[in-house]
Amino acid sequence: MNQWDIFLAPYKQAIDELKMKLKGIRKQYQSAGISSPIEFVTGRVKPIPSIIEKAGQRGIPFDKLSEEMYDIAGLRVMCQFVDDIDTVVALLRSRNDFEVVEERDYIKETKESGYRSYHVIIRYPIETLDGQKMILAEIQIRTLAMNFWATIEHTLRYKYDGVYPPQIQTRLERAAEAAFLLDQEMSEIREEIKEAQKFYSEQRSER
Ligand code: 0O2
């Protein structure tokens, strides 16, 4: 194993465990016949070139990475409705298997790019052969509309290295506005949608 493999092993383990735990929350809601605030969960260990690039930009030495780079282990929780995000954040705060160390609300304080999401940074214990190791992980909680916009913008960011041609910039701003309006519209008809989903899942389970 090289130095990176050794360094990243606990992060990989954390992603596997946390993905399972967050998916477990969804299953518990489903078993109770209550609509879940969690639609789906993804997770990744930050690719080594991205770690090196970010560390270089922020002047973080290798031996400080585990303390100063929060998103080496990154999870995303996607929700249907904006209100679900508060429910998920409350669930995370109430857990005993990790500690919330920081929260960043980019929904109330939308980033200049138009990015919206709620970030929760946790300190999570990993059991290893050498004992317990604490690692930091970032959980991004967002609606499907926020995720759609962020995914597209992230791809374009790489293509244009963060400097967009004016036409793309305008379109991204309009798309961010459209995603915001979509979230608002969906919230307005939330109860209708939930009832329809409950009816649909009951019909399916009767078949
Ligand atoms: P990746 O793995 O490519 O997604 P700061 O920049 O100081 O405010 P920091 O430490 O970068 O803070 O953390 P922040 O902004 O809370 O979270 C960083 C991560 O949030 C990013 O990871 C993205 O995943 C997401 N993010 C933040 N801003 C934007 C944005 O404008 N557009 C999109 N699409 N995503 C954003 P990285 O580092 O980009 O890595």
3-145, what's its fold? Beta Polymerase; domain 2 (3.30.460)
Catalytic-role residue among 99, 103, 138, 192:
138
Residue 65 exposed, middle or buried by CB count within 10 Å (0-12, 13-18, 19+): middle
Please say if 138 is a catalytic residue. Answer: yes
> Which pLDDT score is estimated for 146?
98
Burial 127-159 (b: 16+ CB within 10 A, else e): eeeeeeeebbbbbbbbbbbbbbbbeebeeeeee
Q: Which helix (H) or strand (E) holds 77?
A: strand 73-79
Which of 115, 151, 168 is the best mutation target for the ligand 1 pocket, counting ligand atoms within 8 Å of the beta carbon and taking the most?
Answer: 115
Prediction pTM value:
0.93
Helix, strand, coil % over all residues of the chain, rounded to 5: 55, 20, 25
ipTM confidence score: 0.92
Domain borders along the chain are 3-145
pLDDT digits (tens, 9 = 90+) for 76-108: 999 999 999 999 999 999 999 999 999 999 999
| Rg (alpha carbons) of the chain, rounded to whole number | 19
Backbone φ and ψ of 120, nearest 5°: -120, 125
Nearest ligand 1 atom, CA 154: 34
| Nearest-atom index, ligand 1, CA of 112 | 31
